[in-house]
Structure 1
Amino acid sequence: MPREIELKLAVPDAALAAVAAWLDAHGEARGETTLLNVYLDTPARDLARQRAALRLRQKDNQTGSQWLQTLKTAGSSQGGLASRNEWECEVAGEAIELSRFPDDARAVLAPLAGQLAPVFRTDFVRRTWIVTQDGARIEAALDTGTITAPGQARTETIQELELEWLPGEDGDDSPLAEAALRAFAARLAHVAPLTPSDLSKAARGYRLTGGSLS
């Protein structure tokens, strides 16, 4: 089962330039991508109650545009470090294609397929770098943008750095993952005051609508 291990850090306004400059100097820049995302759920918020999030993403960069669908299910987050199950695959356009998900993901979504509708959006620009820490490869993604929801006048700002463990031959659950992510975050702490965040973009979106990702 695919597993995502990442550390999320909130980045204050004054630190954005310093963090980007440090990553330019110490990492391998991978460019900039615009990510337009809609999250779907049922009117009863069945996915949220299962601690799951379903996302449809349009990804635009120098090479063109691509649509992706992603399902993330129950995981844990403490001190900004999150581990969760994740399935992602490409789709033809702006619609969920249930048949393209593997069996585990379809089992979660199939009973709800006819009720799914947009709930909120997260739209942001992502700059990415590949960095190394203690022999581990880490993707550093600096995201800036907004979270919006239909009928809600208020928006939330996205301004965060996600450090994601890139598994090697040992796989996603290597015991080195947490130590490598925290060690790299400690290096960044000397650059700017970054605060660990346990709230995913999905959790913040549900909060904006008056609900929660339990």
Structure 2
Amino acid sequence: MGIEIELKLAVPDAALAAVAAWLDANGQPRGELTLLNVYLDTPTRDLAQARAALRLRRKGEQWLQTLKTAGHSAAGLAARHEWETPVAGEAIDLSCFPDDARAVLTPLADRLAPVFRTDFARRTWIVEQDGERIEAALDTGAISAPGTSRTERIQELELEWLPRDGADERHVEAALRAFALRLAHIAPLTPSDLSKAARGYRLTTPS
């Protein structure tokens, strides 16, 4: 099990080019990928009620399954537990998850089904701030709910801490906020507490 600590920032149209150019100049570019994602839950939304999210992702030729469980989020900064493992194809394989993740999912396994999709292009850079390494990911794409015409745009920058031994969570959070302040001089970026999963669930809820 890992701890995911990230800061999410909404990026307005006018700021996309400036943010990418600044990251090109001040970070290590890692290229661009198209990520195709489907989120699964039960008809009664057991995972959503537990503040968890189960995702199946195609990344290039690789399939990954990810379970994220409840954490905390404030002013765009989130910390949560995360388990991610490769799988053979486009299907959840509980046997590939560690025991803690299987304990959450096994009682729900026969009722899990696709709920929504988040498909987007991701450009990434590695940056450093106060001794911490951060992955900056600029995502552009859309959230969609199968069987409906409802969609929502994805246009955000995720600043995710890259774990290291002996790191203090408070120092990590301070480093992420300090880096976000540097970016604030480039463009008006707005912190967002809503994950892609939370936005997807919101999209599937009747208005």
Deviation, structure 1 residue 153 = 1.4
Give me the CA root mean square deviation: 0.9
Q: Which residue in the other structure is 1:174 paired with?
A: 169
Do structure 1's residue 140 and structure 2's residue 140 form an aligned pair? Answer: no
Query: Which of the residues 96, 99, 104 maps onto 2:100?
Result: 104
Distance (whole Å) between structure 2 residues aligned to residue 154 and residue 70 of structure 1: 25
Distance (whole Å) between structure 1 residues aligned to residue 118 and residue 130 of structure 2: 33
Distance (whole Å) between structure 2 residues aligned to residue 33 and residue 201 of structure 1: 17
Deviation, structure 1 residue 2 = 1.1
Q: What does the per-residue CA deviation read over 1:39-66, in whole Å, with 9 as the maximum and x for residues that have no partner?
A: 0000111111111100000002xxxx10
Distance (whole Å) between structure 2 residues aligned to residue 46 and residue 136 of structure 1: 36
Do structure 1's residue 205 and structure 2's residue 193 form an aligned pair? Answer: no
Runs of 4+ that moved beyond 2 A: none
More displaced stretch, 14-23 vs 145-154: 145-154
Counting matched residue pairs gives 206
Q: Which residue in the other structure is 1:56 paired with?
A: 56
Q: Which residue in the other structure is 1:113 paired with?
A: 109
Distance (whole Å) between structure 1 residues aligned to residue 185 and residue 62 of structure 2: 37
Deviation, structure 1 residue 24 = 0.1
Q: What does the per-residue CA deviation read over 1:153-183, in whole Å, with 9 as the maximum and x for residues that have no partner?
A: 1210000000001122215x53311000000
Deviation, structure 1 residue 78 = 0.2
Q: Residues 10-21 of structure 1 correspond to what in structure 2 (within 5 A)?
A: 10-21=10-21
Paired residue secondary structure (1:162): strand
Query: Which of the residues 140, 145, 148 maps onto 1:149?
Result: 145
Q: Which residue in the other structure is 1:77 paired with?
A: 73
Paired residue secondary structure (1:25): helix
> TM-score, normalised to structure 1's length?
0.94
1:167 and 1:174 in contact (8 A); partners too: no
> TM-score, normalised to structure 2's length?
0.97
Paired residue secondary structure (2:134): strand
Q: What does the per-residue CA deviation read over 1:100-133, in whole Å, with 9 as the maximum and x for residues that have no partner?
A: 0000000000000000000000000000000000
For 2:38, give the aligned amino acid.
V
Distance (whole Å) between structure 2 residues aligned to residue 121 and residue 90 of structure 1: 19
Q: Which residue in the other structure is 2:35 paired with?
A: 35
